[in-house]
Amino acid sequence: MPPATGARCGIHPEMAAVATCARCGTFLCGDCTEVVGESPYCAPCLDVLRKSAKPSWVVQVALGLNVLGVACLPCSMALPLPSLVAGLAGVLLGSRELRRIRDGHGPERGITQARVARGLGYFNLTLSLAWLLMLTLSQYLP
C-alpha cells in the first residue's frame, strides 16, 4: 500500500488534515479542530483568542443598561420600571456571560464587566423593590 499523500495533522501525524488553524496555520485533523464562528483554530490558538478577545456585546449592553438604571431611579419616583428592567437584565445577562466564560465559550476579558453588570443588576433590583415596597407601605400608613 502506498504511503498516504497530502497534509497531515501537526499534532497527530497519522491522521489526515481537514483544516488549517486560522491563526498559526498548523494543519489540523477533525479531533484537533475547534471552530469559532466559521474559522478553525488549534487548541493553543483558541486559548490565546479567548484571552485576547474583547468582551461580548451582551455584557456591554447589560452594563450600559444598569448604569442607565441607576441614573434613572431618581427620575422615576412614581414607578421605577426602567431600573427594575435594567436590574433584571443585568442579573440575567451578567450571570449568563459568567457561565459562558466559565464553560470556555466566552472571552475571559469580559469577566470583570460581567461581574459588574451582575452586581449593578442586584443593586438596581434592590433599590427598585425597596422603592416599590415603600410606595406600597405608604398607602397603608397614616
Percent of the chain with pLDDT over 70: 93
- Give the residue numbers spanning the domain of 121: 54-140
Which residue, chain included where needed, has cell 407601605?
A: 137
Q: Measure the CA–CA gap between 111 and 94, rounded to whole angstroms.
A: 9
Domain count, the chain: 2
Overall average pLDDT of the 74-85 stretch: 75
Same domain, 74 and 125: yes
- Is there a single domain that holds both residue 70 and residue 10? no
Residue 102 neighbours by CB under 8 Å, 6+ apart:
none
Residue 60 near residue 113 (C-beta atoms within 8 A) = yes
Segment 137-142 shows an average pLDDT of: 79
Q: What is the pLDDT of residue 1?
A: 42
Tell me, yes or no, if the pTM score tops 0.85.
no
Measured distance CA(16)–CA(33) in Å, rounded: 12
Do 120 and 69 share a structural domain?
yes
Supply the angle between the helices 111-140 and 57-72 in degrees, to the nearest 10.
Answer: 30
DSSP 15: S
Does 20 lie in the same domain as 33? yes
d(CA 66, CA 107) in angstroms, rounded, equals 21
Examine the domain organization and report whether 67 and 29 are in the same domain. no
Residues 39, 58 share a domain: no
The residue type of 88 is L
Check if the beta carbon of residue 29 is closer than 8 Å to that of residue 11: yes
